[in-house]
Structure 1
Amino acid sequence: MTVPLGGIALAQHDAAYAALDRAGFTDVWSSEVAGADAFTPLALAAAWQPGLRLGTAITPVYTRGPGLLAMSAAALAEAAPGRFSLGIGASSPVLVRDWNAVPFDQPFRRTRDVLRFLRAALRGETVDEVYDTFAVRRFTLERPPAVPPQILLAALRPGMLRLAAAEADGVILNWLSADDVPRALAELGERRADFDVAARIFVCPTEDTAYARALGRRLITSYLTVGAYADFHRWLGRDEALAPMWAAWAAGDRRGANAAVPDEVVDALVLHGSPERCRAEVRRYADNGVDVPIIALLPTPEVTAGGATALLGLIARLGTNLVEASA
């Protein structure tokens, strides 16, 4: 499950984490956009629910210096030995350049360089290296973790997917359908036995189809108009389906872009329906090669009306269904 969950303050997430654990969820994964940072929700989970595995999906490689990123990862790995995975990625120009005042230059090389730095630093090595995109002088972690975390790489298209396969411990996929998974995994080649494939999956467990599709369209026009995601979906074969959306967006017609997203694209990328139907669709990702399906739970009318109690009840239903499906 993606955390933190909407509608519940971080200070009250002890109940949410307990509910996730009771429902059979094994992992909690954070993201880092404009809400909570990636590490604080996981630090709380490490203390409150020592049985849960933890992961970031993702921490951007630009918004912290290499040494600080290594320190944050090492601290969480020390707090949750053997059960923390660090997911890193390039993120986007909006988050990096517009919101954090950092140039978004050479994203492939920057991601590769940070990956290589972290690999050495988290092993406790002294790093004195000139990389293509930065240089580090004699950095050594004072508290290297006894169990270095897995490092997973967020990847969309072939170059980054192949980098993940060659140098990371796993890959994190995002904004793709279950049917798209084999196309992405084909770029990885033969996978190592300990190589993990994670995927963030947007789930809106409501039978109010109009609501779910309206929310899905807003998300799709927000994300898939960003250059990297647009190129990703062209590569996946959605050029014709999404061309009207891209054209309207480029012309400044936000409402027209929203209306131009076909229902079949929304339904493929944003799962909705009953918890039972959502569970079956999540299982399709696993059947197609995803080791760690990460649910990103979207707001529903029922949860909005019922508040935290309704949300915890939904977690119980959805988790129980997922566990039954896996049995």
Structure 2
Amino acid sequence: MTDRDVHLPVAAQPSVDSLADYAGRAEDGGYDCVWLPETWGRDAVTVLTAIAERTDAVDLGTSIVNAYSRSPALLGQTAATLQEASEGRFRLGIGPSGPVVIENWHGLEYGNPLRRTRETVEIVRQVLSGEPVDYDGDEFSLSGFRLRCEAPDPAPPVEVTGMGPKAVELAGRFADGWHAIMLAPDGVRDRLADLERGAELGERDPEDVAVTVGVTCCALEDADRARELARQHVAFYVGGMGTFYRDALERQGYDEAETIHDAWQAGDRERALGAVSEELLDDLCAVGDPETARERLERFEAVDGIDAVAVSFPRGADESEIEATMDALAPDSRE
């Protein structure tokens, strides 16, 4: 059976305690892994440390931390430490993010994101081995670094995110897992072909690469409210977070993605929201009343090659709406 994970909400959460409470709720509901994004609020490492102390069985991971604002050596140290703090439950999810985040927020040059991601994965693995790190790449050159604490056993998996064909191919070649987002079921199938090609290039078995697909979910008795929240969420990401989400939708044949992006950039939020078609909303998201949301989530779980579906929440959902969705879609609620 496909795992069912949860992406913890990060928008406007009142405290670290509230995020830890969501993680505990997820554990109680039988979710397999709790993933924490890192955006422009609380840092993921501190929050996951708190969650590790307050949970016992659920896996914990970053999805994602970017590959720029921390060095690869520090990411390796962080992964080793969180693996220790969680008693073997940690999974490191990294990715290049995009120019809006890396250049505007962190003041760093974006450069070659695929190369940087690959080299980061390779260096993190060397750090986690406990052996001296000697690495000569295009992005990084390291010599003599070695963990002063005991290397984690087992080492946590190092997973990456990616949206375009080349990024997903890279995941297949080098990573322990691939995290997908802003994909309809048919879009996932297309990208799985890229993953398999990458695995072949890396002389690996594609089944050794764990595939996790994030799906925006909102399961409320007020189905119209659920759809409204999801529509706002899609419009914000396609319109306001660079061009990656727009491009991902266009690759899947959703021509309205350009209209959503351009309208949002022009400040016409109403037009951007109106351009999110009912078909797009239904294909990308699992929203509506609880029964409908469950059925739509199961469409993703039926895709051959997906190992886990991660329930995520619209950025405008309040605490009661997040809890209602988490409970309605909890693995323990499956028949």
Q: For the residues of structure 1 that align with 2:234 and 2:19, how far apart are their CA atoms?
A: 28
Corresponding residue of 1:244: 259
Change (3 A) 1:277 1:8: farther
Deviations 1:74-133, CA, capped at 9 Å, x for gaps = 100112243211111011112111111111111111111111111211111212222111
Match of residue 293, structure 1, among 267, 291, 309: 309
Corresponding residue of 1:197: 211
Contact 2:83 2:152 in 1 (8 A): yes
Corresponding residue of 1:104: 110
Q: Equivalent residues in 2 for 1:200-279 (5 A)? A: 200-225=214-239, 226-238=242-254, 240-249=255-264, 251=266, 253-279=268-294
Corresponding residue of 2:169: 162
Change (3 A) 1:300 1:274: farther
Match of residue 33, structure 1, among 33, 36, 39: 39
Change (3 A) 1:260 1:317: closer
User: Cα distance, 1:312 vs. partner?
Assistant: 4.4
Contact 1:3 1:41 in 2 (8 A): no
Identity within the alignment, %: 31
Q: What is the alpha-carbon root mean square deviation over aligned residues?
A: 2.4
SS in 1 for 2:179: strand
Change (3 A) 1:311 1:244: closer
Corresponding residue of 2:3: none
Residue identity matched to 2:248: F
Gaps of at least 5 residues in structure 2 are 1-5, 200-204
Q: For the residues of structure 2 that align with 1:283 and 1:162, how far apart are their CA atoms?
A: 26
Q: For the residues of structure 1 that align with 2:20 and 2:177, how far apart are their CA atoms?
A: 29
The normalised TM-score by structure 2 is 0.86
Contact 1:169 1:194 in 2 (8 A): yes
Aligned length: 318
Match of residue 329, structure 2, among 312, 318, 324: 318
Is the counterpart of residue 174 in structure 1 residue 218 in structure 2? Answer: no
Contact 2:157 2:176 in 1 (8 A): yes
Contact 2:183 2:248 in 1 (8 A): no
Q: For the residues of structure 2 that align with 1:311 and 1:217, how far apart are their CA atoms?
A: 16
Corresponding residue of 1:85: 91
Residue identity matched to 2:327: A
Residue identity matched to 2:169: R
Deviations 1:264-285, CA, capped at 9 Å, x for gaps = 1122223211223222222221
SS in 2 for 1:125: coil
Residue identity matched to 2:229: L
Contact 1:204 1:298 in 2 (8 A): yes
Residue identity matched to 1:221: A
Q: For the residues of structure 1 that align with 2:327 and 2:272, how far apart are their CA atoms?
A: 36
Contact 1:126 1:139 in 2 (8 A): yes
User: Cα distance, 1:254 vs. partner?
Assistant: 4.0
